[in-house]
Structure formats: structure tokens, C-alpha cells
Structure 1
């Protein structure tokens, strides 16, 4: 099958995908916090949203659309700023009473729907410039520009990335559920977790904005 890369490429990319998947980031913090707030199904819904975002990034790279983002600095700058502002909003939600990311919802905050958890995961992935850059700059390294099956191979690698990530996502959500069950009764632990998630989101937002400020 022409769209299947060589075995060496498949194995090398699998290792790279594994390293990226286990690296903490906004996506991981999001579906952990959704699990801790509203249960494993919401964690999986958020994770499904981020996975959909990965599929979108892969399709854009495979068909060359993402290159426009890199070649149009203004468009990519807008993406970066939007991503940073979205992370700031998530950080605020994480420490608000009744906010959508809280581990304990003091004050009886409204529980989101599964669709809302899914869309939050999709939004945080699509507006994450690091994810966009990874797929635009790194994914094409595994195919040849003059390969007539390049688009098919890029799609294959995108699917491989998702398959490598799934066990890690499942393990993370189940761990978050166990952690919640174990620590939910401790108020100070719950507050610490809420602020930890807020700190993660703010740190990524600050990194994006500071990087832009130095340019």
C-alpha cells in the first residue's frame, strides 16, 4: 500500500508521538481537571475533543492548508494570541467558584454537558500554537516532498499519533479519577489542585505572550 510509510519511519514516529503524548501540557491538564470535576466520562469527552483537534491538524498538514498559517505571520500571530487568551480564560474558570474546571464545585456550579466538555477539548487543541507548529514542522519530516503518496502517508502518521496517544489518555483519565476518589475529602488538597490547574494554564499563556513580546 503506497500510503504506508516504511517500518523504520513508523517506529521512529511512534517514539516521537509517545514522548509528545506523555509531556504535560494544556490538553492533559484539561481532561484531568474535567475528570476530577465531573467524572471520567467528561474527561474522555474532553480528550475526544483534543483528539479531534489532532485529526484536524493532520488533515490540514496533509492537504497543505496549514502551510498558509506559517507563511502568513499575521494569521499565525492571531492563532497564538487566541490560544493564550483561551488558556487565561481556562485558568480563571479553574479558580472561580462553580467554574467548569474545579475539582470541587463549591456553591453548586452547573455541570457542563458532554458536548461542552468535548468542545472545550477541541478548542484548546485547535488554538494551541505548539500543537500547530508540531504538525506543520515536524510531521512533514517523515515524508519526502516529491513522494506522490505524501498526503496519504501524512494521514497515516496522524492516525498513528492518535493510536499511540489513546492508551496514555485513558491511563491519565483513570489516574485522575483515582486521585479524585482518594483526595476529594481533603479541602486543602482540592483547592491546591484547582490552583495547580490554573497555574498550568497561566504558565502556558504567559510563555506564548512573552515569546511574542520578544519579537
Structure 2
């Protein structure tokens, strides 16, 4: 077996944990749905790709120990929390603005973003979420022995596994949002209700992020 491959039992256990995390609602999932509803499936997938790129970045940081330094330094972690919370507050404000780029209310009044902008939005919400950093710093390394000479390679493998396990979940989320758009597009009040609902979701996660604590 190649040195970068964890044991089969570790791969299976981590796959289950990754799936549970992927299906747990969070700001990433809320953004996938809202972008798809507002601008279509392609923008939903562009946002997904941005978030998955963020996961890859977190994996590399953990593999080479940089995230540990961020979480261990109170000032750096606090700055990350503030940036993440402010980003979610901004998304919440956009959600309740007509044509703000979050959900369909008066879509014609808003400027359609480029695919690159949707991608960067997904990347940004993932990278500025300290809950994700905490997960990768505190949870991912538990599947690899610290004295394993191939620890970094195995961490990268597990990060790739996390992305692979997450793909069916996020694809299903985008496709569901596309179906929801076709089903409810004629009911303006539904769009307004969804706008305020997603604004509440983003504000809730912003508050949660502010109370996130680094590992002691």
C-alpha cells in the first residue's frame, strides 16, 4: 500500500464523518442554494467550486501546520472571526436587498455577477469561516499519527477524500435549488420569504462565528 494511503478503516471512518459534515446546514450550503435560485445552476456550481477550493486550501494549511499557528494565536484567530462574521453580515444585507445577488425577488433590477464572482464568493465564505478552520485543525489530524513520516501526505489524501465525499451532496443541493426556482418562480412572496430566511441564517452563523473559540 502506498505510504500516503491511510488504513482502510481510517478511510471509511473519515468518509462517514465527512458526509455528516457535508449534509449539516451551514453558510456554505445557504450560499449554494441562494446563488442557484437567483442566477441559475451554473452560478450555483461556480460557488460550489469556490467553496471546494477553500477546503483544499484548509487541507494544505493543516498538512503543513500553518492553520495550527492561526488557531493558537488569539489575535490572529480573533481577526479571522471578525472577518468571517462581517462577511456573513454583508451577505445577509445582500439577501434582503432587491436584486442584491442572493435570492430572486426583483432579479431584473440587479446586475448579474460573473461566474468568477460567484466562484470567489464561495471561496471567500469558506476561507473566512473559522468553524471550517477549527474542524480541519482539530478533527482532520486525529486520523493521522503525529510521528508518521507520511503524515502530511495522508492529510492531503483525507482532504481530497473530503472533497470527493462532499461533491454529491453539494451537487444535489444545487439541483434541488434549481427545481425550487422552477416550482416557485411565479410566487413573489415566496422569494421575499426566502430572502429574509437566508438573511436570518447568515446573521445566525455570523453570531456563531463570533463565539467560536480556538482549541485550548
**TM-score, normalised with respect to structure 2:** 0.96
Counterpart of 1:192 in structure 2 is 193
Whether 2:129 is the aligned partner of 1:128: answer yes
**1:90/1:201 contact within 8 Å kept:** yes
Runs of 4+ in structure 1 displaced over 3 angstroms?
Answer: none
**2:131/2:212 contact within 8 Å kept:** no
**1:80/1:208 contact within 8 Å kept:** yes
Counterpart of 1:63 in structure 2 is 64
2:178 aligns to what SS in structure 1? helix
Partner Cα separation in structure 1 for residue 17 and residue 211 of structure 2: 27
Q: For residues 14-58 of structure 1, what are the alpha-carbon distances to aligned partners after superposition, in whole Å with 9 as ceiling and x for unaligned? A: 000000000000000001100000000000000000000000000
Counterpart of 2:181 in structure 1 is 180
Partner Cα separation in structure 1 for residue 57 and residue 135 of structure 2: 13
**2:27/2:125 contact within 8 Å kept:** yes
Aligned residues: 212
Unaligned runs of 5+ in 1: none
Q: Output the aligned Cα RMSD.
A: 1.1
**TM-score, normalised with respect to structure 1:** 0.96
Unaligned runs of 5+ in 2: none
Deviation at 1:210, TM superposition (A): 4.8
**2:4/2:153 contact within 8 Å kept:** yes
Deviation at 1:208, TM superposition (A): 2.3
Partner Cα separation in structure 2 for residue 16 and residue 168 of structure 1: 13
**1:69/1:76 contact within 8 Å kept:** yes
Partner Cα separation in structure 1 for residue 168 and residue 107 of structure 2: 32
